Structure 1
């Protein structure tokens, strides 16, 4: 998916920018970049992160990032930030975006005389394309609204100008932007967990389509938020950090609530509850309380060197990382009936491998409980998964096996408790060699989040969303 951080201060910003951007590292693994502005000069650095961490790439360069304002990005798409000099002035740009109509917009811009210089693997850099769309406006606000109007998908952004930082959230708020404040400084971030240790207080939640401008002294609204919101539910299920609040709703509290609610309706018998770390832990703790049985750490995540496995582009790399970073505890697993809580099943390859390892370590029964419903649709709005087509999703593959057509009766397959849903879940259970398998329902997930259902995007589960 990616995440960004920007700050503007009365003093040098490099340290806050460096660590603030690093706190977004769990959102992406491909590239990192930072840019600062000082006395008419923009400075930039971009590094590949696929084989290293953000901190190790940028630590030695901090001295070059002079100035009191800057933006940083952890990106799973193109190299960023992008610099541009336009009639609006010089600016740097970072985006968390998914541009589904990139080819169409590229042709439109080229036909109108624009040109692209920042190619990424031979393809147009989508952040540069967004910068050119902004430059079509007579003001930054008009340019950003041009992006909102033309991009099919989603786009949140930070713009570093010569005088300020402009933060603009996706028009339907699919990805978040939070504003932090401390004496003599403001910050904007995809992740509010970046604020506390840098002494920022959470100041404001930018609304869908809202645009705000930051200086060291104040935040100025430039565009009012839209009335409709479709924030991604997967923020709370998987990629949000446990201590973070989005729309005032805490990630770990939601995961705990989903686990507790599921346990109170579950009649499975087991010795204890465990979790697939890290994103399954909150749910596992809630499940253990709801069920009234112990929580044990039957699997430990090895954190010193293994990064997140969700986003690497190569499937073999994802599978290897998923296997290497999780270490089972043989003494806890031998001859035990265990309930494991996890966030989701996307392709099923990682879970299949993990389950086989658990049996190999002596588990008698492996019961899986998932924090979200079966994923039946590839996401057209947010890059939370590397899945490019629906048939990479295990749920859709099971629909095709059952129906001969992966698109038949999807509404019924998305309805918890229907004959089709039960057949699909049992087929997944058999394929993954799981003793029992249950998913959270859309209704219970929305209830745990606590926002109005029309404000939460559930497209990947049931195809329901605003376009």
Structure 2
């Protein structure tokens, strides 16, 4: 995924930039970066955050950087920000999203005798491709429009210039950007949870494809929003922070409503309800409140020495680290019938290990209630649930075992309550050793979010999307 934060201020902006960017650390595991524009130059720093917190890596910059305009990024793709010298001037750029036609854009550039300076394992960095597209135009605004028109997938971005910050939401609004304001300063953020403790109030949510320019005096729309929107539904279900809101809709409230919807369709006798930390907690509280059941924490998360960002590249080690973070509480488990709410089941590997621990600690029954339908399609628009193989998805693995191939009758398997859908869910239940497994209905998830379905991207579950 990834997250963006930018600030323009009449006073030095570095402290706001440092803490505002840090509030996006839950969105990425690879790189963090900041750039600040002062009267003479742009200062930039990029650090690896795979085994440490953003704050610890950027403490030096907090004291060394100075300026009134700044942009920051938590990136799961390439090292950012980039600093680009162009015919329009020098600018910094940060992006989040996924460019599906990147190879075609790169080859187009090569035919024009262009080149790219930053590569990793022979791959051109996507942010440099976006910068190249911007530099094809005569102004920053026209360049941003050119990039958005050319990119298939999604790309939201911030540009740092001596004129202020340009912020652009991706063409179909899959990733949000929100403007905050306070006396003498404006900020733009992927996550509104970055605003309250820094003294900012939400001022404007950018629409799909909208471009704005910010200065310490205010912000001005440079390109209007489009009519079509496909905002990612997983923002509310999984990777958004509970204190954040998108399209004016708070994440924690949605999770509580998702849990309540699960409860309305369930009468399984259990002793108490829990939530798989962290994002399953809001769903679990909503479920417990709706059914009038106790909410308890048979798993607690240990974070002091296991930061969110520490995720080794080796999958076996990733699974080990994920398991080490969750500590079981035997006294709450032994002899109990436990129902857990979870945000989703992607691969199921970690969940299977957690369920095994519960039974080893004496649980009588373990029931699982994911807050969304079964994932069947890898994400094509953001760097979430992407993988080298669709078989990394528990749903596709089950389909292959049932059909002999993982791409047959996908529409039927996605249809809630159908014979094939129930067979897939039962196969996943068996693989995870669960007593029962019931997924959320698509209609209930959409209702819990509170936007029309055609304004949400639900591709991961039913394969539907705009392009």
Matches within 5 A, 1:217-228: 217-228=217-228
Matches within 5 A, 1:387-406: 387-406=387-406
Matches within 5 A, 1:189-204: 189-204=189-204
Instruction: Determine helix, strand or coil for the equivalent of 2:143.
Output: helix
Instruction: Determine helix, strand or coil for the equivalent of 1:420.
Output: helix
Report what 2:443 is aligned to: 443
Deviations 1:15-72 (A, max 9, x none): 0000000000000010000000111301101011111110010012222211111100
Q: Distance in 2 between matches of 1:401 and 1:369?
A: 23
Q: Distance in 2 between matches of 1:233 and 1:312?
A: 27
Structure 1 residue 114: Cα displacement: 1.3
Report what 2:87 is aligned to: 87
Matches within 5 A, 1:68-467: 68-308=68-308, 313-467=313-467
Gaps of 5+ in 1: none
Structure 1 residue 311: Cα displacement: 6.7
Q: Distance in 2 between matches of 1:314 and 1:410?
A: 30
Deviations 1:301-334 (A, max 9, x none): 1121213379764322321221011011100000
Instruction: Determine helix, strand or coil for the equivalent of 2:350.
Output: helix
Structure 1 residue 187: Cα displacement: 0.4
Structure 1 residue 386: Cα displacement: 4.4
Q: Distance in 1 between matches of 2:216 and 2:427?
A: 56
Q: Distance in 2 between matches of 1:206 and 1:180?
A: 11
Q: Verify the 8 A CA contact 1:334 1:364 in the aligned structure 2.
A: yes
The count of aligned residue pairs is 467
Deviations 1:223-262 (A, max 9, x none): 0000000000000010000011100111011110011111
Q: Verify the 8 A CA contact 2:51 2:307 in the aligned structure 1.
A: no
Structure 1 residue 13: Cα displacement: 0.7
Q: Distance in 1 between matches of 2:229 and 2:242?
A: 22
Deviations 1:54-108 (A, max 9, x none): 0010012222211111100000000000011111211000000211121111111
Instruction: Determine helix, strand or coil for the equivalent of 1:448.
Output: helix
Q: Verify the 8 A CA contact 1:310 1:385 in the aligned structure 2.
A: no
Q: Distance in 2 between matches of 1:313 and 1:25?
A: 18
- Is residue 2:59 matched to residue 1:59? yes
Gaps of 5+ in 2: none
Q: Distance in 2 between matches of 1:208 and 1:388?
A: 29
Q: Distance in 2 between matches of 1:186 and 1:312?
A: 36
Q: Distance in 1 between matches of 2:8 and 2:302?
A: 36
Structure 1 range deviating more: 310-319 or 428-437: 310-319
TM-score calculated relative to the size of structure 2: 0.98
Q: Distance in 2 between matches of 1:82 and 1:309?
A: 22
Q: Verify the 8 A CA contact 1:28 1:311 in the aligned structure 2.
A: no
Instruction: Determine helix, strand or coil for the equivalent of 1:443.
Output: helix
Q: Verify the 8 A CA contact 1:307 1:321 in the aligned structure 2.
A: no
Instruction: Determine helix, strand or coil for the equivalent of 1:439.
Output: coil
Q: Distance in 2 between matches of 1:388 and 1:27?
A: 21
Q: Verify the 8 A CA contact 1:309 1:321 in the aligned structure 2.
A: no
Q: Verify the 8 A CA contact 2:341 2:369 in the aligned structure 1.
A: yes
Instruction: Determine helix, strand or coil for the equivalent of 2:293.
Output: coil
Structure 1 range deviating more: 296-305 or 218-227: 296-305
Q: Verify the 8 A CA contact 1:261 1:287 in the aligned structure 2.
A: yes
Q: Distance in 2 between matches of 1:400 and 1:283?
A: 30
Distance verdict in 2 for CA 1:63–1:310, change over 3 Å:
closer
TM-score calculated relative to the size of structure 1: 0.98
Q: Verify the 8 A CA contact 1:311 1:385 in the aligned structure 2.
A: no
Q: Verify the 8 A CA contact 1:118 1:124 in the aligned structure 2.
A: yes
Q: Verify the 8 A CA contact 2:50 2:310 in the aligned structure 1.
A: no
Q: Verify the 8 A CA contact 1:30 1:312 in the aligned structure 2.
A: no
Q: Distance in 1 between matches of 2:182 and 2:378?
A: 40
Q: Verify the 8 A CA contact 1:300 1:327 in the aligned structure 2.
A: yes
Q: Verify the 8 A CA contact 2:34 2:45 in the aligned structure 1.
A: yes
Output the aligned Cα RMSD.
1.2
Structure 1 residue 118: Cα displacement: 1.6
